[in-house]
Amino acid sequence: MGYPTVQLNEEVMREGMQIESVDISVEDKVDLLTTLSGTGIDAINVGSFVSPKYTPQMANLEDVLRKFTPVDGIDYYCLVMNQKGIDRAAAFPWLRPARGASTVVHLCDTFVRRNMNRTQEDEVANWTRAIEAAERTGADGAIGIGAAWGSNFEGPFSTAQRMDWLRRQHDRWTEAGITVTRISFADPMSWCMPHWVEETLAAVRAEWPEIKAVHQHLHDARGMALPSIYATIRSLDETFSTSFDVTAGGIGGCPYCGNGRATGMAATEDVVGMLTAMGIATPIDQRKLVEFVVELEKVLGRQVPGHTAHGGPLPVEPADRYDANLPLVETHEQAQHFRLGPEVAEHGIRPWRKPIPEPRTH
């Protein structure tokens, strides 16, 4: 059995920046977006056109985008929540709204109230509008659930609950004569667990074999986003397409979920490393991405939670493997020898009695 195709959507400038300091300058954001655009990532969320009252970090988004030069071939997209957001985004014709014609509902009504000043009932009321939009454009149907795996306010949700809410949406699309081919799961409160992901996807495949596109937006406060991405890929085959929202450095978070910056997401560079080792190709240059993360840490003034930018990509190629006589490495700074050269660790000790033969030469 082969793997599904994998698309990575870079969310660091939206999901990441929305939880960081409002004092990050327009110039720094433009520089970050420019560097990010040179890493090979082909889908980048530039930010949210939302009220600065609730997300002040996005108040200068228009200024950032006016000074930024988009790169041809990259799918730049944005988050809009209402008509005002749509109108603001329209000033940048190279952007697309993140949401298409899809029905969605959060299993946690409390989160909807906290996050959007709306209710679960309001979300259900919008299903008609989404279906009518698909009817006008001839698009296939898409169903989705938010807070899919559980809630910090209401507790865990079962596969039966997930399937019930998905089935209600699917029935509405079927009544309209539209085939549902896409499904999405959002996890704002970091409740994803690999076995729950596997169980749910098995249920979806059994009930709706025509669904062949799976999207996941997984948060990482409990460290399970990357394992859940792996579980998703392993649960599907080559007849599927998958897409995952990720953030360079693993930063990100929703201020309404109760975890703040501790929420995070799977780090793009970590996901790319895993995919590469699995034999799943991506257009992303992992080393350029690491350099972006280094730049990001300077802007943020702190270390990000991702791993690869600190420990280095897998040294698969002989030229990348470590010197057998590399001194003992103890600090994060010394561990940067993979990108800065062995001199950053030169003051470490070498307790072996005689030089160790290089494995590449014997």
The pair of structure tokens assigned to 336 is: 């940067």
Task: Indicate if 243 and 355 belong to the same structural domain.
Answer: no
Task: Indicate if 299 and 354 belong to the same structural domain.
Answer: no
Do the beta carbons of residue 57 and residue 17 sit within 8 Å? Answer: yes
Q: How confident is the model at residue 82 (pLDDT cuts 50, 70, 90)?
A: confident
For residues 226-232, average pLDDT: 98
d(Cα 185, Cα 163) in Å, to the nearest integer?
12
List, in sequence order, the alpha helices (H) in 176-314.
Answer: 194-207, 225-235, 268-278, 286-300, 308-311
Task: Indicate if 326 and 236 belong to the same structural domain.
Answer: no
Task: Indicate if 256 and 339 belong to the same structural domain.
Answer: no
Run of H or E including 131: helix 127-137
Task: Indicate if 82 and 29 belong to the same structural domain.
Answer: yes
Q: How many CB atoms are located within 10 Å of the residue 280 CB?
A: 16
Is the confidence at residue 273, as pLDDT, over 60?
yes
Q: What is the pLDDT of residues 317-334, one digit of tens each?
A: 999 999 999 999 999 999
DSSP states of 150-192: EETTTEE--HHHHHHHHHHHHHHHHHTT--EEEEEEEETT---
Task: Indicate if 237 and 307 belong to the same structural domain.
Answer: yes
Q: Return the CATH number at 178.
A: 3.20.20.70
Task: Indicate if 142 and 247 belong to the same structural domain.
Answer: yes
pLDDT of residue 100: 67
Please state at what angle helix 26-36 crosses helix 286-300, rounded to 10 degrees: 170
Amino acid identity, position 1: M
Task: Indicate if 221 and 329 belong to the same structural domain.
Answer: no
Q: What is the pLDDT of residues 307-318, one digit of tens each?
A: 999 999 999 999
pLDDT of residue 85: 87
Task: Indicate if 263 and 356 belong to the same structural domain.
Answer: no
d(Cα 46, Cα 40) in Å, to the nearest integer?
15
- Radius of gyration (Cα) for the chain, nearest Å? 22
pLDDT of residue 359: 85
Q: How confident is the model at residue 2 (pLDDT cuts 50, 70, 90)?
A: very high
| pLDDT > 90 in the chain, percent | 90
Question: Could you tell me the maximum CA-CA distance found in the chain, to the nearest angstrom?
Answer: 77
Run of H or E including 216: strand 213-218
Is the confidence at residue 254, as pLDDT, over 90?
no
Task: Indicate if 42 and 156 belong to the same structural domain.
Answer: yes
In 3D, which of 260, 277, 171, 166 has the Cα closest to residue 226? 277
Is the confidence at residue 300, as pLDDT, over 80?
yes
Task: For residue 14, give every residue at least 6 positions away whose Cβ sits within 8 Å of its Cβ, in sequence order, or none.
Answer: 45, 46, 47, 48, 78, 79
Q: How confident is the model at residue 356 (pLDDT cuts 50, 70, 90)?
A: very high
pLDDT of residue 73: 95
Task: Indicate if 305 and 323 belong to the same structural domain.
Answer: no
**DSSP designation for 221:** T
Task: For residue 93, give every residue at least 6 positions away whose Cβ sits within 8 Å of its Cβ, in sequence order, or none.
Answer: none
Q: How many domains are there within the chain?
A: 2
Q: What is the pLDDT of residues 5-61, one digit of tens each?
A: 999 999 999 999 999 999 999 999 999 999 999 999 999 999 999 888 888 999 999
pLDDT of residue 233: 98
Please identify which residue in the block is written with the tokens 């799961």. Answer: 185
Domain that holds residue 149: 5-311
Task: Indicate if 42 and 104 belong to the same structural domain.
Answer: yes
pTM greater than the 0.75 cutoff:
yes
Is the confidence at residue 146, as pLDDT, over 90?
yes
pLDDT of residue 96: 84
d(Cα 243, Cα 282) in Å, to the nearest integer?
12
DSSP states of 34-93: HHHTTTT--EEEEEEE--TTT-GGGTTHHHHHHH--PPTT-EEEEEE-SHHHHHHHTT-T
Q: What is the pLDDT of residues 161-175, one digit of tens each?
A: 999 999 999 999 999
For residues 65-86, average pLDDT: 92
